[in-house]
């Protein structure tokens, strides 16, 4: 016999490194990929959902993020709430190194969490804004595949873009 | 297992978003990183966004309006064309012109058609060489976008008769008619030389003439050293007397290529003018068949409205404009001259008194008290206005008249009342003449130098009307009938 108690439904997610996470349905629905899956398969609620593209490290961070933002949204909007959201977001990205930032972007992209993706992209943009070409290269771990002449040509064509660059300090 | 996340794996969408947040300069730098990235940075949708954000462009074109092959190419052309200027200033000057042109295209396209295309760097160089000045940066940019206005009247190069298309506009009262144009570089050179010759300015003076009226000798001078704008008073020919147009505190960094805070008086003046036009504070007026921009403000608080108390029948609107070219700073009694424009109209409902409907109202009497600061300098009580008894019919265009008053101070007021008679002043049928008592139109024109936006050519203190509180005056109760 069950009273009409509100049971928070839980959904199980399995990461690439075989960890299982049990999350409340509300949080899982923040992942548009999962939401779409359930919209199209309403009876599949008991299965564990595999997420082969997401590591446990990423997923736990993402779950934290979604939990916190859901809690913020449940409260009344006000400028002090906005301030708290901003602070939370800043803290969320501040301590992460470039690698984990990029991993999070991949995961957020795969799970299709729009707000998180936007916030992470902004964080990346903030980190490479006004930086030198070399800095950006290192950030993305890319090799320079231009010849020196080619690179010089791009710079010459676009002199206006190369003024006022921050000096590299690392 | 840690793995390096390369950019490729970030995905095009994330990369596109990052680049759009970075902006054009950083996007170009990213394109230098590797060939793979160059592809992403060349997406034209990205450059369409930058063109829109920076320049409000929705089609790819260069700064002269010629079509470009792509948004990326267009953005490049713009940056190259203005490479010698701080980009934030370029964007700001473009926005200033865009605001003026948007208003003109809707309200006064004839004036938009007079705007000449931009001067080249060598045109500007010529001006600087010939007049031995260095233009402030914002003014240089203003000319790069538009080289002043073309006059359309035939023939005369030094007499500007018949021109009412000045973008700055003007006013007219009695026989004093003013309409101010922005001068093209060729006229700046010629006009400045004339001023040096005829008005005895030193040939090393840093003043250049930048705007002038088509009729009366109203001239605006830019001081190229400090970036301030001045307008000549009535003593300009004898003493070179001028009044400054913009608060000094606003002008900064006019010759400083670095930094992004440059603003000179010409830019501030035009921005303010654009703001007033956009907000309908000043408008196009038609007199006879001639349309021109009138500098008499049209909306509160610079324009006051008074209605007949109780029964809203007659609306009187009034505003004023400072007339600097007739000011005489050396005359303590009549230092400043203000022109004012009074508009009166009878509302469509007509005039109903005691159940009787009148199809018209006529002005009969006028009472003014003019104060300079608080001292009464003029108290006029008499018939008519400018010798006329305007007859108002319901729903007709406003009856407008202009007049002026000199003042010893830059702060003062005019308080007045009009008395209207329903019907008309004398009815030959003879048996009834009504005189309206107890509900005159009262308005007080106050001018105050605390007005924030007073620095368009009414630099010192424009007039404005203020409606006195209603409860001082009795509602319309009765009419006296006179036989």
**Full set of structural domains in chain B with CATH:** 13-82 (1.20.1280), 87-151+163-277 (3.40.1580.10), 296-422 (2.60.40.1470)
Model confidence at A169, pLDDT cuts 50, 70, 90, reads: low
Please tell me if residue B5 touches chain A, with a CB cutoff of 8 Å.
yes
Q: Which residue in B404, B379, B401 sits closest to B458, CA to CA?
A: B404
Cross-chain residue pair B76–A161, CB shorter than 8 Å? no
Does B120 have pLDDT greater than 80?
yes
Distance from CA of B75 to the nearest CA of A (A): 11
Distance from CA of B12 to the nearest CA of A (A): 11
Tell me, what DSSP letter sits at residue A1?
-
Model confidence at B396, pLDDT cuts 50, 70, 90, reads: confident
Q: How far apart are CA B234 and CA B340, in angstroms?
A: 19
Q: Which residue has the higher pLDDT, B26 or B259?
A: B26
Q: How far apart are CA B197 and CA A97, in angstroms?
A: 70
Q: Which residue has the higher pLDDT, B61 or B202?
A: B61
Q: Which residue in B233, B104, B123 sits closest to B166, CA to CA?
A: B104
pLDDT score of B353: 65
CB B111 within 8 A of CB B274: no
Closest residue to A142, CB basis, from B14, B34, B79: B34
Does B156 have pLDDT greater than 50?
no
CB A96 within 8 A of CB A132: no
Cross-chain residue pair A128–B76, CB shorter than 8 Å? no
Tell me, what DSSP letter sits at residue A75?
S
Please tell me if residue B132 touches chain A, with a CB cutoff of 8 Å.
no
pLDDT score of B461: 26
pLDDT score of B160: 43
Q: Which residue in B216, B248, B250 sits closest to B233, CA to CA?
A: B216
Sign of the C-alpha dihedral computed for residues B444, B448, B450 and B455 taken in this order:
positive
Mutate which: A112, A158, A163, A167, vs B, most B CBs within 10 A: A158
pLDDT score of B182: 96
B247-286 exposure pattern, b = at least 16 Cβ within 10 A, e = fewer: eeeebebbeeeeeeebbbbbbbbbbbbbbbbeeebbbbbe
Cross-chain residue pair A161–B28, CB shorter than 8 Å? yes
Q: Which residue in B121, B221, B202, B114 sits closest to B160, CA to CA?
A: B114
Please tell me if residue A165 touches chain B, with a CB cutoff of 8 Å.
yes
Please tell me if residue B7 touches chain A, with a CB cutoff of 8 Å.
yes
Cross-chain residue pair B29–A162, CB shorter than 8 Å? yes
Q: A138 to chain B: which residues are within 8 Å by CB?
A: none
Q: Which residue has the higher pLDDT, B352 or A58?
A: A58
Q: How far apart are CA A170 and CA A132, in angstroms?
A: 12
Distance from CA of A7 to the nearest CA of B (A): 37
Rounded to the nearest 10 degrees, the angle between the axes of helix B44-55 and helix B12-22 is: 20
- On average, the pLDDT of chain B sits at 79
Secondary structure, 3-state, chain B: CCCCCCHHHHCHHHHHHHHHHHCHHHHHHHHCCCHHHHHHHCCHHHHHHHHHHHHCCCCCECCCCCECCCHHHHHHHHHHHCCCCCHHHHHHHHHHHHHHHHHHHHHCHHHHCCECCCCCHHHHHHHHHHHCCCCCHHHHHHHHHCCCECCCCCCCCCCCCCCCCCCCEEEEECCEEEEEEECCHHHHHHHHHHHHHHCCCCCCCCEEEEEEECCCCCEEEEECCCCCEEEECCCHHHHCCEEECCCHHHCECCCCCCCCCCECHHHHHHHHHHHHHHCCCCEEEEECCEEEEECCCCCCCCEEEEECCCCCCEEEEEEEEECHHHCCCCCCCCCEEEEEEEEEEECCCCEEECCEEECCEEEEEEEEEEEECCEEEEEEEEECECCECCEECECCCCEEEEEEEEECCCCEEEEEEEEEEECCCCCCCCCCEEEECCCCEEEEEEECCCCCCCCCCCCCCCEEEECCCHHHCCCCCCEEEEC
Q: Which residue in B229, B260, B263 sits closest to B246, CA to CA?
A: B229
At a CB cut-off of 8 Å and minimum separation 6, what does B128 contact?
B134, B135
pLDDT score of B288: 77
* Closest chain A CA to residue B79: A160
For residues B315, B321, B326, B331, the Cα torsion angle rounded to the nearest 10 degrees is: 90
Cross-chain residue pair B10–A105, CB shorter than 8 Å? yes
Q: Which residue in A35, A9, A32 sits closest to A22, CA to CA?
A: A9
pLDDT score of B100: 97
pLDDT score of B75: 97
Model confidence at B444, pLDDT cuts 50, 70, 90, reads: very low
pLDDT score of B302: 75
Q: A105 to chain B: which residues are within 8 Å by CB?
A: 10, 14
Cross-chain residue pair B32–A140, CB shorter than 8 Å? no
pLDDT score of B26: 94
- At B402-426, the pLDDT tens digits run 888 888 877 666 667 777 777 776 6
pLDDT score of B97: 97
Does B483 have pLDDT greater than 90?
no
Cross-chain residue pair A146–B34, CB shorter than 8 Å? yes
* Closest chain B CA to residue A123: B18
Closest residue to A122, CB basis, from B21, B23, B30: B21
Please tell me if residue B85 touches chain A, with a CB cutoff of 8 Å.
no
Q: Report the pLDDT averaged over residues B427-451.
A: 31
Q: Report the pLDDT averaged over residues B207-231.
A: 91
Please tell me if residue B258 touches chain A, with a CB cutoff of 8 Å.
no
CA angle (A108, A109, A110) in 5-degree steps: 90
Closest residue to B22, CB basis, from A118, A128, A155: A128
Closest residue to B14, CB basis, from A117, A143, A155: A117
Tell me, what DSSP letter sits at residue A55?
-
Q: How far apart are CA B209 and CA B192, in angstroms?
A: 5
Q: How far apart are CA B478 and CA A138, in angstroms?
A: 89
Cross-chain residue pair B35–A105, CB shorter than 8 Å? no
Q: Which residue in A14, A17, A16 sits closest to A34, CA to CA?
A: A14
Q: Which strand ranges, in their side-by-side order, compose the sheet holding B207-213?
A: B242-244, B229-232, B219-223, B207-213, B176-182, B169-173, B290-294, B283-287
At a CB cut-off of 8 Å and minimum separation 6, what does A6 contact?
none
Does B473 have pLDDT greater than 50?
no
- At A10-39, the pLDDT tens digits run 888 889 898 998 888 888 888 888 888 888
Mutate which: A106, A125, A127, vs B, most B CBs within 10 A: A125
Closest residue to A137, CB basis, from B33, B76, B80: B33
Closest residue to B83, CB basis, from A130, A144, A160: A160
Does B234 have pLDDT greater than 80?
yes
pLDDT score of B311: 52
For residues B121, B126, B127, B128, the Cα torsion angle rounded to the nearest 10 degrees is: 90
Does B328 have pLDDT greater than 80?
yes
Q: Report the pLDDT averaged over residues B198-203.
A: 76
Cross-chain residue pair B32–A106, CB shorter than 8 Å? no
Pairing relation of β-strands A49-50 and A10-14? parallel
Closest residue to B24, CB basis, from A143, A145, A161: A161
- At A58-98, the pLDDT tens digits run 999 999 999 999 898 888 888 888 899 999 999 999 888 88
At a CB cut-off of 8 Å and minimum separation 6, what does B233 contact?
B241, B242, B243, B324, B325, B326, B327, B328, B329
Give the three-class secondary structure for A20.
Answer: strand
Residue numbers of A between 7 and 36 with CB closer than 8 Å to B: 17
pLDDT score of B450: 26
pLDDT score of B209: 94
Closest residue to B18, CB basis, from A124, A157, A158: A124
Residue numbers of B between 21 and 40 with CB closer than 8 Å to A: 21-38
Query: Could you tell me the CA-to-CA distances from B481 to B383, B422, B432, B437, B440 in Å, in that order?
Result: 19, 12, 7, 11, 17
Q: A125 to chain B: which residues are within 8 Å by CB?
A: 18, 21-22, 26
In DSSP terms, which residues pair with B213 in a beta bridge? B180
Does B267 have pLDDT greater than 90?
yes
Cross-chain residue pair B34–A106, CB shorter than 8 Å? no
Q: How far apart are CA B365 and CA B436, in angstroms?
A: 10
Cross-chain residue pair B6–A140, CB shorter than 8 Å? yes
Model confidence at A41, pLDDT cuts 50, 70, 90, reads: confident
Distance from CA of A112 to the nearest CA of B (A): 11
Q: Report the pLDDT averaged over residues B465-478.
A: 22
Cross-chain residue pair A160–B11, CB shorter than 8 Å? no
Does B428 have pLDDT greater than 60?
no
* Closest chain B CA to residue A100: B5
Cross-chain residue pair B21–A121, CB shorter than 8 Å? yes
> How deeply is A147 buried, as exposed, middle or buried, from its count of CB atoms within 10 A (0-12, 13-18, 19+)?
exposed
């Amino acid at each position: 016999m069950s009273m009409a108690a509100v049971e928070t439904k839980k959904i199980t997610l399995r990461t690439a490194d075989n960890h299982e996470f049990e999350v409340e349905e509300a949080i899982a629905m923040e992942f548009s990929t999962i939401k779409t899956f359930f919209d199209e398969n309403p009876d599949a609620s008991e299965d564990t959902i595999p997420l082969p593209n997401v590591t446990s490290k990423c997923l736990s961070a993402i779950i934290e993020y979604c939990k916190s933002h859901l809690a913020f949204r449940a409260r009344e909007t006000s400028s002090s709430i906005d301030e708290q959201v901003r602070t939370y977001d800043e803290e969320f990205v501040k301590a992460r190194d470039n690698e984990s930032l990029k991993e999070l972007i991949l995961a957020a992209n795969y799970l299709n969490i729009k707000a998180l993706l936007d916030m992470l992209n902004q964080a990346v943009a903030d980190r490479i804004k006004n930086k030198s070409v070399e800095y950006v290269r290192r950030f993305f771990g890319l090799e320079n595949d231009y010849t020196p002449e080619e690179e010089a040509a791009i710079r010459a064509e676009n002199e206006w873009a190369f003024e006022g660059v921050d000096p590299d300090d690392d | 297992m840690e793995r390096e996340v390369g950019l490729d794996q970030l995905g095009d969408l994330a990369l596109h978003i990052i680049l759009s947040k970075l902006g054009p300069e950083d996007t170009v730098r990213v394109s230098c990183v590797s060939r793979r990235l160059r592809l992403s940075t060349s997406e034209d949708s990205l450059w369409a966004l930058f063109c829109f954000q920076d320049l409000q462009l929705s089609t790819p074109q260069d700064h002269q309006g010629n079509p470009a092959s792509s948004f990326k190419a267009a953005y490049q052309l713009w940056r190259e064309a203005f490479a010698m200027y701080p980009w934030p200033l370029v964007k700001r000057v473009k926005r200033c012109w865009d605001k003026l042109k948007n208003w003109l295209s809707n309200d006064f396209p004839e004036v938009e058609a007079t705007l000449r295309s931009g001067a080249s760097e060598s045109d500007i160089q010529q001006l600087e060489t010939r007049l031995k000045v260095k233009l402030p940066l914002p003014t240089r940019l203003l000319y790069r976008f538009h080289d002043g206005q073309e006059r359309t009247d035939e023939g005369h190069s030094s007499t500007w008769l018949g021109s009412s298309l000045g973008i700055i506009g003007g006013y007219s009262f009695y026989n004093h008619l003013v309409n101010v144009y922005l001068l093209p570089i060729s006229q700046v050179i010629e006009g400045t030389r004339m001023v040096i010759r005829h008005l005895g300015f030193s040939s090393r003076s840093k003043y250049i003439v930048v705007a002038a009226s088509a009729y009366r000798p109203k001239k605006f001078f830019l001081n190229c050293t400090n970036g301030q704008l001045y307008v000549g008073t009535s003593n300009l020919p004898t003493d070179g007397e001028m009044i400054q147009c913009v608060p000094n505190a606003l002008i900064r960094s006019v010759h400083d290529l670095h930094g992004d805070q440059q603003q000179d008086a010409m830019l501030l003046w035009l921005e303010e003018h654009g703001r007033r036009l956009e907000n309908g504070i000043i408008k196009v007026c038609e007199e006879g068949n001639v349309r021109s921009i009138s500098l008499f403000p049209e909306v509160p608080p610079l324009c006051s409205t008074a209605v007949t108390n109780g029964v809203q029948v007659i609306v009187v609107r009034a505003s004023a404009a400072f007339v600097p070219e007739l000011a005489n700073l050396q005359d303590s009694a009549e230092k400043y001259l203000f022109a004012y424009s009074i508009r009166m109209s009878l509302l469509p409902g007509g005039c109903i008194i005691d159940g009787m409907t009148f199809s018209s109202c006529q002005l009969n009497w006028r009472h003014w008290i003019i104060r300079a600061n608080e001292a009464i300098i003029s108290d006029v009580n008499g018939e008519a206005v400018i010798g006329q008894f305007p007859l108002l019919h319901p729903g007709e265009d406003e009856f407008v008249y202009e007049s002026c008053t000199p003042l010893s101070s830059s702060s003062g007021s005019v308080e007045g009342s009009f008395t209207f008679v329903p019907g008309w002043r004398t009815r030959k049928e003879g048996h009834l003449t009504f005189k309206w008592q107890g509900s005159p139109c009262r308005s007080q024109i106050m001018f105050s130098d605390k007005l924030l936006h007073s620095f368009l050519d009414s630099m010192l203190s424009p007039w404005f009307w203020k409606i006195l509180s209603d409860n001082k005056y009795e509602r319309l109760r009765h009419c006296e009938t006179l036989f």
